[in-house]
Structure 1
Amino acid sequence: MPPDVRKCLESWDPLRDEGFSFRMFDDASAAAYIEKWYGPRELAAFARCRHPAMRSDYLRLCFVLAEGGLYVDADDVLLGDGWNNIFRDSTLKVHPLCYDVNAGGMVPGPELRRTDLPTDGRIFYVNNNPIAAPAGHPILRRALARATNSLLGCEPTPEIQATTGPGNLTAALAAYARESQISGIMPDFELLLHWEEVAEPRWDLAYRGDARNWRNMER
């Protein structure tokens, strides 16, 4: 574990006093977990994930779907006590994001709370960090099935973001929301519009500058 990443992880230690337990995985323990909870298709799909970030994408779906809980990236730093609200009910909770194509950057988090935010030239999606949900949530079930089918398809090098990352989770959530709307059912998920007050990523970490960062590998 790189020291700068470990420092990020240590920021979450106070939650142990609140009754939290922590689980971390490497490639071997992740494969063993998937083999225990799922079947040969999921294990084969995990084996086709060609980068650690991709394997992390896939594992988090498997873990939260199987047991429920909260997933956060190892390079996120805990800021405050807003995490309390995440556990007030059993809805799935994810963080919305928006990319401004014309500006070439992300729309600031507070802007996403505006009801009059223009949509032209913007790509709206949800991040797959954090993910909070009870076990067996249908959005995660759909996202895992979608990622598995893509990984086991004919594409030799499936793109990470769309196959296992935020693109995959966004597609699963949007399909579920549309089906719920057609059926007249209130969807059981929530967008975390204030997550940046709970935790934030550290961008000055050493791994971001080399091939350990999936963005560099893709380029």
Structure 2
Amino acid sequence: MDSYPVGFEDDDRLRSAFIRDLTLQQLDRFTTFSIGGPTQSALVPKTLIRYWHDPNDVPEDVRACLDSWDRLGDEGFEFRMFNDVSAAAYIADRYGAQERDAFARCRHPAMRCDYLRMCVLLAEGGLYVDADDVLLGGGWKYIFHDGALKVQPLCYDIPSSGMVPAAEIWRRDLPTNGRIFYVNNDPIAAPADHPVLQRALARSTEKLLGEDRFPEIQSTTGPGNFTAALAAHARNLMIAGTPFDFELLHDWEAIAETRWQLSYRGDARNWRNMGSR
């Protein structure tokens, strides 16, 4: 692990290279990417966790996305829908003053959603999906067959300012120059008390309570934070010779898709339109 020293997850280049290595290892999962272990006893609960900041102002197109998941009720799912008020109450009830204060410092609904999903999944487990995700096929059943944390790997191509197609990420000959490999924090499927969630929540809380009054969302509560937590955890497992307790999803896009042409994306409710203050 000389290429990935302690703390490497805070280096953008090393973190990206490490995630790329994980995807290649998973291609050989039966020999080098063993999943499961003695601590992986609990399955991922059939609980669907979602968030919209204002329950009295859910756009119709977002409501259609949310409704696409209703059929999981026939599969025994529990539905948990949070908003700004119920999220603050949940964190105050389940966590301490630090987490409560950290949530209060999340300056955009997307940040509060990021933070809340970590809190709920750590405490109870389940499947978190964004409110703009639409359920497609029945591949979701695979997610619940064991207790491994499951996340989606992504790759951003800097020269084109666009995402590399999901299927391309698994190509061994995929060029890596000018590309950032990471994992998304949508979806996240996990059993309760997963160590990646413990690490991600602690890391985010520390950043939110730091001196920076306007922390950047991706690295503080979003995919950057979650990727760093996963990478550090994976390194520790590799050094200990312990099987991985997580999995990178190959085909999430066949399970659900993100609807990009939604009304709220054109206004301040879209975190990408969030100003620096």
Structure 2: runs of 5+ lacking an equivalent: 1-57
Give the Cα–Cα distance (whole angstroms) in 2 for the partners of residues 12 and 115 of structure 1: 34
Normalising by the residue count of structure 1, what TM-score does the alignment of the two structures yield?
A: 0.98
Cα displacement (A) at 1:187: 1.6
Indicate the larger mover: 163-172 or 19-28: 19-28
1:10-60 residue CA offsets vs partner (Å, 9 max, x unmatched): 100010000001111111110110011110000000000000000000000
Matched, 1:208 2:260: no
Identity of aligned residues (%): 69
Describe how 1:65-80 pairs up with structure 2 within 5 A.
Answer: 65-80=122-137
| Secondary structure, counterpart of 1:23 in structure 2 | strand
Q: What residue number does 2:64 align with?
A: 7
Return the match for 1:162 from 200, 211, 219: 219
How far apart are the structure 2 equivalents of 1:24 and 1:31? 13
**CA distance in structure 2 between the aligned counterparts of 1:13 and 1:207, rounded to whole angstroms:** 22
Question: What is the correspondence of 1:9-88 to structure 2 with a 5 Å cutoff?
Answer: 9-88=66-145
Aligned position for 1:135: 192
Letter matched to residue 107 of structure 2: R
AA aligned opposite 2:163: M
Give matches, 1:146-185, under 5 Å: 146-185=203-242
Greater CA drift, 177-186 or 40-49? 177-186
The Cα RMSD (Å) is 0.8
CA drift at 1:121: 1.2
Q: Secondary structure at the match of 2:180?
A: strand
Give the TM-score taking structure 2 as reference length. 0.78
Distance (whole Å) between structure 1 residues aligned to residue 111 and residue 133 of structure 2: 17
1:122 corresponds to which of 172, 179, 191: 179
| Rounded Cα–Cα distance in structure 1 between residues aligned with 2:67 and 2:86 | 21
